[in-house]
Structure 1
Amino acid sequence: MVKVLVVEDDAQLVRALRINLEARKFEVATASDGNNALRLAAARKPDVIVLDLGLPDIDGIDVIKEVRRTSGVPILVLSARHTSEEKIRALDAGADDYVTKPFSMDELLARLRAAVRRVEIPAPAQEISMVSTDEFTVDLIAKKVSRGDRTVRLTPTEWHLLEILITNPGRLISQRKLLLDVWGPTYAEHTNYLRVYMAQLRRKLEADPSHPRYLITEPGMGYRFEG
């Protein structure tokens, strides 16, 4: 059973989410503030977190950052903050998706299922199990990335994006294909998601993120991995 941690201080919305999630066989835990959210995230090890940004004690962005220090659990933000700047701040902090209030329950559930699927995707059935460059090494079977003797922690979305690129070395992958494969059809035009996540991957993997050697942008077209 998939475990969901709902972090939301609106009791009526929490009740609606619990009813809908439990009806679909999710195991639900709830927290009404950031401190309890962090405690439950550490104790319960949820499979996915649904997080409101407007919490009474800690800003949701800070909750995301704290969770990301120790966990790659998918985080789906649920917020009334609707500007592009707020969305990018949340994604840059480590969120995997962003749903603006008010929202359709069906859309939220679809995005929740997509977030869970991204974690459950098996390693590609291929002969290549390890990709090594001068800067980093990717173990496709163990789903681990390292730089020297240091493990690089990636979010599930970052991993999925990197996996697609490195298993197609030298091949230009279009923006639309990456958006469809990683985020789904709802996001086919959201190219800002790709810019944010590619920037995050470069900061983690490239020696000079502003002049990438391996994760290459083809302006207006897409991205490719040069091994």
Structure 2
Amino acid sequence: MRVLLVEDEQAMVGVLRSGLVRHNMVVDDVASLADAEAALYRDIYDVVVLDRRLPDGDGLSLVRSLRANGNVVPVLVLTAKGDLIDRVAGLDSGADDYLGKPFAFEELLARLRAIMRRPVNLQPDVANVGRISFDFTHREAHVGGIHLRMPRRELLVLEALMRRMGRMVLRETLMEAVFGMNDDIESNALDTHISRVRRKLVDADAGVVISGIRGVGYLLRETP
């Protein structure tokens, strides 16, 4: 899951970013409406976590703008404005959910999972190919019922390939799935992660192969 976090309080950004990354999410953070609009124009996100009180205006104006332009990216509003009238205003603006500060991080995670289960965002819970099974809800891979342990970024590579198994996944798509816009990325970082994932799948006898076209992308398919 790729998350755009729109929050100007750096302490809050640090807590949310570290927590979301620990749960295998890719997080881009911006501190203003203008930067959020630029990020949403440039990249594709699975969900936006949006503060209301931003230096250049009310976060709800971003939600209204997105919906007016036909952008249905899910938006979870985080705010200190937790009164009923504010929650109603947030939902009426087109936000998908509204969570008042302070909040428990576990509740934020639960609400993000709930948003992604809604029909417009619905993905299969589990994908199977060869002997490998990938649980998208818990972000776990199993081969023949045995848990396949991987570092976070390798797991994100495998998730992106499993979501599009049998189809070529462009390098740009994989980069967006694995790295945030503020990550310090070496030129061969993606290829290194692909190589490690490929080796682990072979070692586990997963019955799949990752094929690639240099400079274009990769695809995951079942071995003949």
SS in structure 2 at match of 1:99: strand
SS in structure 1 at match of 2:54: coil
**Which residue does 2:64 correspond to in 1?**
65
The one-character-per-residue Cα deviations of 1:161-214 (angstroms, maximum 9, x if unpaired) are xxxxxxxxxxxxxxxxxxxxxxxxxxxxxxxxxxxxxxxxxxxxxxxxxxxxxx
Letter in 2 for 1:114: A
SS in structure 2 at match of 1:50: strand
Letter in 2 for 1:82: G
SS in structure 2 at match of 1:62: helix
Shift in alpha-carbon separation, 1:24–1:59, aligned structure 2, 3 A: same
Letter in 2 for 1:49: V
Shift in alpha-carbon separation, 1:70–1:39, aligned structure 2, 3 A: farther
1:1-227 equivalent positions in 2, closer than 5 A:
2-68=1-67, 69-118=69-118, 119-121=120-122
Q: CA RMSD in A?
A: 1.4
The offset of 1:58, in angstroms, is 2.0
Distance 1:122 1:47 in 2: 12
Distance 2:123 2:45 in 1: 19
The one-character-per-residue Cα deviations of 1:88-138 (angstroms, maximum 9, x if unpaired) are 111111000000000000000110111122243269xxxxxxxxxxxxxxx
Distance 1:23 1:90 in 2: 28
The offset of 1:79, in angstroms, is 0.3
TM-score, structure 1 length as denominator?
Answer: 0.52
TM-score, structure 2 length as denominator?
Answer: 0.52
CA contact (8 A) 1:41 1:67 kept: no
Shift in alpha-carbon separation, 1:22–1:54, aligned structure 2, 3 A: same
Structure 1 stretches of at least 4 aligned residues deviating more than 6 Å after TM superposition = none
The one-character-per-residue Cα deviations of 1:14-69 (angstroms, maximum 9, x if unpaired) are 01111011111111001101110111112111110000000110211111111212
For structure 2, the residue ranges without an aligned partner over 5 or more in a row are 125-224
Letter in 1 for 2:28: A
Larger mean CA deviation between 99-108 and 81-90 belongs to: 81-90
SS in structure 1 at match of 2:14: helix
Count of residue correspondences: 122
Higher gyration radius (CA): 2
